[in-house]
Structure 1
């Protein structure tokens, strides 16, 4: 009998780019690496089960791995494009009239999966460029919900957002194929 532990790595150590994160250094680099590791965790938890990404957790919840990808694409877009960069762009999967459409509209099919990943990757790429080009972590922007927010706060919030949802992804992935690990 093989003993399984949730604390083991989800993939082989040599394949896990999350381990590339620096453990010492300046604040900006550490925040960037922590966020990159959380983004990589989402990708890992969704990898290899593309046909099952829209599987819901439990009734009546509409939570799914595909919903998480769509939701996090919208979260990235909201904080980096809309708030920090001041772009007047709509969210991709949610609307004011349907605030949970990111989850509720996550339906099965290769086109829906491809659309979600394409959107998520585009928003992550924008965020990474924005952070790289920002002169410092203390740049601020006004958010209608939180008031003045700094880039530092947004990075910390994004780490928290991904960490919470990656916990959901752990359970969803285990339901799909029994895979466990960090």
Structure 2
């Protein structure tokens, strides 16, 4: 992130500032995760669907693919693994369809995040293991899932920063 002479990011570029939270563990973890989700979504703002779908690296990663991927990851960890949802996990490597729009994918991501937040709110003990795991390990606790989702979303928010800068030069959070 570029900074001004005073060391803070320019608000004129639409930067999202890190949240201030001095709450309990659940509140702090959710506040950080929500901030990162919005940082990813903000990177799609003002772009055409074609631009947001444009791969910015040889692997084919695009801003819309990141949003679609994070939607699936939210559903997989919170709904399928922790809450024990029916069916199979979502395909978190699925490509963006030609007819999928940024508006639809962002709405789906927000809906998945809301479902995840409801699961977190309903859990009385963050240390309770979930129903199953997406890995070859025992089911993780909700605390681990929240921490993992902060890490996963932050990593992809960094990718989104780079992709957006490559598209139109926009920098910041």
TM-score band by shorter chain is 0.7 to 0.9
- Measured on the aligned residues, the alpha-carbon RMSD in Å equals 2.3
Give the match for residue 152 of structure 2. 161
Deviation of residue 23 (structure 1)? Answer: 3.2
What count of residue pairs does the alignment treat as equivalent?
166
Q: What TM-score, normalized by structure 1, do the two folds share?
A: 0.80
Deviation of residue 12 (structure 1)? Answer: 4.3
Is contact 1:18-1:36 (8 Å) kept?
Answer: no
Deviation of residue 90 (structure 1)? Answer: 3.9
Give the match for residue 87 of structure 1. 85
Q: Distance in 1 between matches of 2:120 and 2:79?
A: 11
Gaps of 5+ in 1: none
Gaps of 5+ in 2: none
Is contact 2:126-2:141 (8 Å) kept?
Answer: yes
Q: Cα gap change, 1:91/1:83 in structure 2, threshold over 3 Å: closer, same or farther?
A: closer
Cα deviation code 1:68-115 (max 9, x no counterpart) = 0000000000001101110013445x2xxxx632xxx22455x43333
Give the match for residue 150 of structure 1. 141
Q: What TM-score, normalized by structure 2, do the two folds share?
A: 0.84
Q: Distance in 1 between matches of 2:72 and 2:154?
A: 16
Matched, 1:171 2:162: yes
Q: Cα gap change, 1:117/1:158 in structure 2, threshold over 3 Å: closer, same or farther?
A: same
Give the match for residue 66 of structure 2. 68
Moved over 6 A (4+): none
Is contact 1:18-1:41 (8 Å) kept?
Answer: no
Matched, 1:29 2:27: yes
